Amino acid sequence: MNVDSIQNGIVIDHITAGQGMRLYELLGLDELDVSVALIKNVVSKKMGRKDIIKIDADIPVNVDIIGFVDPGATVNFIKNGELVDKKTIEMPEILTNVLKCKNPRCISSCEQELSQIFRLTDREHKVYRCIYCETKWGG
Ligand code: ZN
């Protein structure tokens, strides 16, 4: 795969250097049968160093995960070799099925069919709380 010329796919740019691998794993890219390039420590005028992920396939990507791992990353959507959309991803208010509640007595731990839903309660310190039992994640 030529990492510079994606025809149809997604380029996740401006990832904080060192976060690319974590994002790669959380997005489940290792499990997909598509061409993915993780480029680490790219020199960036704006950031010093950054990571970039290029996905050469038109697949849905959970942008909430990107916003959770690295708010400020940009996602470029490419169709037929052209940039068609560019989004700066913010930390999402609600995270569904990304985090797992650590409280063993939480209803979401007991009832398997319930979604794991976390709400952002402190953007500055990146704190999320389980909507069922208020258990804190992060911070
Ligand atoms: Zn909970």
Q: Is residue 78 part of a domain?
A: yes
Q: Is residue 25 part of a domain?
A: yes
84 and 99 co-located in one domain: no
Q: How far is the CA of 66 from the centre of ligand 1 (A)?
A: 22
What pLDDT was estimated at residue 128? 96
Tell me: the pLDDT tens digits for 63-101?
Answer: 999 999 999 999 999 999 999 999 999 999 999 999 999
76 and 115 co-located in one domain: no
Q: Is residue 1 part of a domain?
A: no
Q: Which helix (H) or strand (E) holds 110?
A: helix 107-110
Q: Is residue 2 part of a domain?
A: no
Q: How far is the CA of 104 from the centre of ligand 1 (A)?
A: 8
28 and 59 co-located in one domain: yes
What string of pLDDT tens digits covers the 139 residues of the chain?
Answer: 444 678 999 999 999 999 999 999 999 998 988 999 999 999 998 889 999 999 999 888 999 999 999 999 999 999 999 999 999 999 999 999 999 999 999 999 999 899 999 999 999 999 999 999 999 998 7
Q: Is residue 49 part of a domain?
A: yes
What pLDDT was estimated at residue 1? 42
pTM of this structure: 0.85
45 and 84 co-located in one domain: yes
The range of the structural domain enclosing residue 119 comes to 94-138
54 and 78 co-located in one domain: yes
Closest CA relative to residue 97, chosen from 139, 59, 131, 136? 131
What pLDDT was estimated at residue 17? 96
Q: How far is the CA of 122 from the centre of ligand 1 (A)?
A: 17
Q: 29: phi > 0 → left, psi -120 to 50 → alpha, else beta; which?
A: alpha
Q: Tell me the CATH number at 70.
A: 3.30.70.140
